Amino acid sequence: MTATKGLEGIVATTSSISSIIDGVLTYRGINIDDLAENATFEEVVYLLWYGKLPNRSELDQLTKDLSDNASVPAEVIEQIKLYPKDVNSMAALRTAVSSLALYDAEANDMTPESNLRKAIKLQAQLPTIIAAFARIRQGQEPIAPKSCSSVAENFLYMLTGKQPEAIAIQALDKALVLHADHELNASTFAARVTVATLSDIYSGVTSAIGALKGPLHGGANEAVMAMLEEIGTADNVTSYINDKLANKEKIMGFGHRVYKNGDPRAKHLQKMSQELGKITGNMNWYDMSIQIEEIVTGQKGLKPNVDFYSASVYTSLEIPRDLFTPIFAISRTSGWTAHILEQFDNNRLIRPRAEYTGPSHQAFVPIEQR
């Protein structure tokens, strides 16, 4: 038995949800470029869950279901009030999502209908949790979700208490479309491993949030912004990046396990970053990002991934840096739950093997002699 480090190139399951073939990403066979230009996040959620684009009444029903289920149990809000104010936002989200199961009478009901209802609840409640957490830590009261608005609009409204501008809703909606699913990425794999034991959907999504948190996965978008802030202005980019590369440090937001010729999602976020920079009158983050890309791609051949330009996009939308990864989680909940439903549909325990590299033929030594 020989291990492949990081399971690179290992095909671990079949799936009909999303594909990456020759560098082209599709959701249910539809090119991500078409979806980014034409679909709303709710259409994508429907596509991932049901395998087809919704007609008008199906889309209206899903939008209503997401809106009707967006309230979070009062007990969970009370718990969030007890979290330390400076706690990591992904740790807070992970804890609150885990708590949701305690107040859902059907948390452990394994019927397909119940699992689909819980997927709707999770998708609906994540934005409410994140917005509530963001307000509570600033000493503000959480804002109840609005009825029948889009996930993007509702989230921005609950975060600020103000009606968001159309351009902000559009930009966030497109970011949600782009992050919704991505084949067998680390967090989705974590979700599938968890539920393949026939554990419940809340456990699956909680595992996924834990996996997304790391800077080699979803946590990279926050790390990109931390880097941009540290660099400060375009004048400092060259020396900062050259030093990092000379020290063999990773530049966050670059590289990908699967895409070697570029992440197809990055160009949409780059365009959005430029447009939002023009609208806000602050091109600094975009200009710095372009310079970083030129250096990193020029010297290392590494291309930006989905996380790189999403950092400047969210900053232009005045979203606090530590909410970037939770926003990724809002979007990816659609993909996680689609994969969990697919796993339940054709389940087998996921239990690979390890190549043993420890000592052998060791004698047991009694404690007195150690």
Cβ of residue 42: shortest distance to ligand ACO, in angstroms? 22
User: Is there binding between residue 216 and ligand ACO (CB under 6 A)?
Assistant: yes
- Distance, CA of 292 to CA of 240 (rounded, Å): 9
User: Is there binding between residue 253 and ligand ACO (CB under 6 A)?
Assistant: yes
Single residue of 157, 254, 314, 324 touching ligand ACO by CB under 6 A = 254
Single residue of 39, 119, 288, 302 touching ligand ACO by CB under 6 A = 302
Single residue of 45, 122, 251, 292 touching ligand ACO by CB under 6 A = 251
CB nearer to ligand ACO: give 252 or 317.
Answer: 252
> Exposed, middle or buried by CB within 10 Å (0-12, 13-18, 19+), for 194?
buried
User: Is there binding between residue 44 and ligand ACO (CB under 6 A)?
Assistant: no
* Active-site annotation holds for 256: yes
Element (H, E) at 25: strand 24-27
User: Is there binding between residue 306 and ligand ACO (CB under 6 A)?
Assistant: yes
151 near 330, Cβ under 8 Å?
yes
CB nearer to ligand ACO: give 124 or 211.
Answer: 211
Q: How far is CA 40 from the centre of its chain?
A: 17
User: Is there binding between residue 6 and ligand ACO (CB under 6 A)?
Assistant: yes
Query: Binding mask 159-198 vs ligand ACO (x if CB under 6 A, - otherwise)?
Result: ----------------------------------------
Reading the block at residue 348, the tokens are: 């087998």
Only segment of 59-67, 233-241, 304-312, 354-362 that touches ligand ACO (CB under 6 A): 304-312
User: Is there binding between residue 257 and ligand ACO (CB under 6 A)?
Assistant: yes
Cβ of residue 187: shortest distance to ligand ACO, in angstroms? 8
Only segment of 49-57, 108-116, 145-153, 252-260 that touches ligand ACO (CB under 6 A): 252-260
**Catalytic residue of the set 217, 307, 322, 339:** 307
* Active-site annotation holds for 217: no
**Catalytic residue of the set 256, 268, 322, 339:** 256
Element (H, E) at 21: strand 18-21
User: Is there binding between residue 220 and ligand ACO (CB under 6 A)?
Assistant: yes
DSSP-assigned beta bridge partners for residue 20: 25
- Distance, CA of 305 to CA of 66 (rounded, Å): 29
User: Is there binding between residue 276 and ligand ACO (CB under 6 A)?
Assistant: no
The three-state secondary structure class of 38 is helix
* Cα–Cα distances in angstroms (integers) from residue 346 to residues 196, 240, 343, in the given order: 9, 49, 6
Helices and strands in the chain: count of H runs, count of E runs: 16, 3
305 near 256, Cβ under 8 Å?
yes
Reading the block at residue 74, the tokens are: 């009062």
Q: At what angle do helices 151-160 and 112-136 cross, to 10 degrees?
A: 30
Reading the block at residue 197, the tokens are: 């034991």
User: Is there binding between residue 252 and ligand ACO (CB under 6 A)?
Assistant: yes
The site for ligand ACO (CB under 6 A) is made up of 6, 216-218, 220, 250-257, 300, 302, 305-307
Q: Which residues are catalytic?
A: 256, 307
